[in-house]
Amino acid sequence: MVKNTGRAGYLQIADDLRAQIRGGSLAPGTPLPSTAQLAEQYDASLSVVKMAVGILRNEGLVIGQQGKGVFVTDPDQTPAAGDTGGEVAELRAVVQDLSVRLARVEEQLATSTTPRSGRSSR
């Protein structure tokens, strides 16, 4: 399953699993196969599989529970790894502000343009 494409085996596995997660084959909350099973499926060592899963964990796509397994995270509740979360939060705040202001403007326009005919054809 791990091909000689020059791309490291652990990255290929991570790519494959990520594609499954992104593509919906592995839905949020779904447990991934165990490390042992993945090693068998991908014909790789446990260590390589662990590395691959570690990559996805750092990306926030999966979360592991000792003794239980590794589960696909819910994208709506994933803070997003790294500082991106902070940037996204910032953008959300700005968008929220714009939304409020725009609603206000729309309201003003709705009440102020009604009596003025000729201004409604924008």
Interacting residue ranges for a second copy, rule: CB under 8 A:
51, 54-55, 58-59, 80, 82, 84-85, 87-88, 91-92, 94-95, 98-99, 101-102, 104-106, 108-109, 112-113, 116, 119, 122
84 binds, among DNA, a second copy, none (CB under 5 to 8 A by kind): a second copy
- Interface with DNA in residues 57-96 (CB under 7 A): 57, 63-70
Q: Are 65 and 72 in contact (CB under 8 A)?
A: no
* Out of 18, 30, 40, 50, the residue judged to bind DNA by CB under 7 A: 50
Write down the least CB distance from residue 17 to DNA, Å.
Answer: 12
Q: How many CB atoms lie within 10 A of CB 115?
A: 7
93 binds, among DNA, a second copy, none (CB under 5 to 8 A by kind): none
